[in-house]
Structures are given as structure tokens and as C-alpha cells.
Copies of this chain bind each other. A is one copy, B any other.
């Protein structure tokens, strides 16, 4: 039987893995080929927690997709996939991110601006009338919880809420709110991270009006252990800036349960942040209730402030 890999993005999160597994199950119910969920790195702590909770085997980790037929979930950009992506045949894509894609033939692509790829797959199950096994429902539920921060994040849509409710019922999880909180907490464990880990771990770089902007982010359920190390973290950030590596460096500590962020702002362009958020950042620190997303909440305000300069 033909094998088709269903692949989530690099550094797979719970939505990437949950989508790969739930879409594979769906495809195997209706098609004649064998869909195999694969990932390019091992699951992180949060997804580990989910797979253990529902007693689901970990999908295979693959290093290459060359000469394979593949289906991409939860990503569409080459930069977020395996390097030899270009040597495979992409059959289909299901995703909820911005698009950056070029194909040499028509393919199936479904992209929707919803909170999680798992939500799109849930509605495909409904549309096709395929029933969802409890474990798969638990996995999809966890994917939605992860990407929408228990439906409290800014990307949450009505469709995510509908999928969440129905999947909660099917999964048989008794107290979903408690399960979700425990799951997010499990993923937010930071323990022994060094200041270098914080500012080099989950970091993204942007260029706005010729300025180089670096934003590192860490998700926590308690800010205290990070704040304790804040002087060392600032020193690391300043080292980076003094080597002329960036004009603005933001370190965003996000409390994923309270849905707020404490942001450290350093660099020559730091005044722009006060303007972007209409705030005064005393001692290079700035507290932002409701802010959890770089892409959706921080970058748009920075762009606006730079353009107004």
C-alpha cells in the first residue's frame, strides 16, 4: 500500500502532533493509502504529558522526507519543515498560519484563520461523518487547549469553542478545565533554565523600518522563578545589544494561566515600546495584561509605532 507521511512543523507542539495523528486516522478511514503521522523532532514536555495521559504511542521521528509523498499540517512554509521538503511530493496542506507557499501543480490546501489546526480537522470529521475515537478526541482537544491557551488566547474563534466542547464530551475527560490547566503547567516547567536559555530559547527576529528587533518569550505559570534571575537576564540581553546585534531587544515573560505578560525592554530603540503600548516602562519593565502573542499583539503595535515615527 502507498505510504503517505503526515508531517507537523519543526519543533512540533501539541497542535502539530495532534493534527498529524488525527488527520492520519481520518485519512486511513476513507482512503486506500496508508497515512503515517511523523515529526521531525521528539515531542516537548507538554505533548509528552498529553500522549502519556491518553496512553497514545509517540509518532515516528523522521530525519528526511525525500522522495516521499507528504501532507503538511500546522505549517506551510518551507522554513518550518524538514530541509529536504523540496525533494518530496506535497499532496495536501491543512494549516491556520499565514501563507508562504509555491507549488508547481495544483494541490489540496485548506487554510482557516482559527485557533488551532485541530479545529479544522475536527470540522472535516463532522463534514465527512467519521466518528472520532475517544483518544483521538483527547489529542485534538489538547491541541486546541495548547494553541488557544484554554480558549483564552487572542486567536480563539467561535469554531474553536464548538470543537473544544464536542471533543471534551467525546474524550471522556471529566474536568476539562483542570486537565487543560495541568497540561499547560506541565509544558511551562522551566526549572533549571539559565539566563542564556531564556533569551536564546524561543526567540524571533524581525526587521521593521530598517531596525533589527529581537523578541524572546518564555511561557510560565508563575513568574517568580524567572524574575528572580532578571538582573542576569538583562546583563545577557545587554551583551547581545552591545555587540550591535539588534536595535531593540524584548524579553516577554507570559503567564499562560493569567493571560498577561511582563516585558523587559532594552536597546537604542526602547522608547518605541512606550509609544506602541501607550505606557511608561519604569526600570525597563512593562506589564501588559491580556498580551500573550508576539505575532498577533506585539508586532502589529510595533509596526504602527515605527511607521508613525
- Docked complex Cα distance between A98 and B106 (Å): 4
Within 8 A of B (CB), among A113-167: 113, 127
Q: How many copies does the complex hold?
A: 2
Contact with B along A100-117 (1 / 0, CB 8 A): 111111111111110000
CB nearest neighbor in B for A155:
B106
The answer to whether A107 touches B103 (Cβ under 8 A) is no
Contact with B along A218-243 (1 / 0, CB 8 A): 00000000000000000000000000
- Docked complex Cα distance between A108 and B96 (Å): 8
With an 8 A cutoff between CB atoms, is A1 at the interface?
no
Count residues on chain A whose CB falls below 8 Å from chain B CBs.
Answer: 19
- Docked complex Cα distance between A108 and B97 (Å): 10
Q: Which of the residues B98, B101, B103, B110 comes within 8 Å of A110, measured between beta carbons?
A: B110
30 contacts between A and B (CB under 8 A): A96-B106, A97-B106, A98-B103, A98-B104, A98-B105, A98-B106, A98-B107, A99-B101, A99-B102, A99-B103, A99-B106, A99-B107, A99-B109, A100-B101, A100-B103, A101-B101, A101-B102, A106-B111, A106-B112, A106-B113, A107-B111, A107-B113, A108-B111, A108-B113, A109-B109, A109-B110, A109-B111, A110-B110, A110-B111, A127-B127
- Docked complex Cα distance between A109 and B97 (Å): 11
- Docked complex Cα distance between A58 and B101 (Å): 34
Residues from chain B with a CB closer than 8 A to the CB of A110 are 109-111
- Docked complex Cα distance between A225 and B127 (Å): 51
Residues from chain B with a CB closer than 8 A to the CB of A103 are 98-100
- Docked complex Cα distance between A144 and B58 (Å): 44
CB nearest neighbor in B for A303:
B104
Residues from chain B with a CB closer than 8 A to the CB of A104 are 98
CB nearest neighbor in B for A108:
B112
Give the Cβ gap from A3 to chain B, nearest Cβ, in Å. Answer: 20
The answer to whether A102 touches B100 (Cβ under 8 A) is yes
Residues from chain B with a CB closer than 8 A to the CB of A96 are 106
8 closest residue pairs by CB, A with B:
A106-B113, A109-B111, A99-B103, A100-B102, A98-B103, A99-B101, A98-B105, A108-B112
CB nearest neighbor in B for A111:
B109
Residues from chain B with a CB closer than 8 A to the CB of A127 are 127
- Docked complex Cα distance between A137 and B97 (Å): 34
Within 8 A of B (CB), among A73-116: 96-113
Given pairs A100-B101, A101-B102, A108-B112, 10 additional interface contacts (CB within 8 A): A98-B103, A98-B104, A98-B106, A98-B107, A99-B106, A105-B113, A106-B112, A107-B113, A108-B113, A110-B110
CB nearest neighbor in B for A127:
B127
CB nearest neighbor in B for A102:
B100
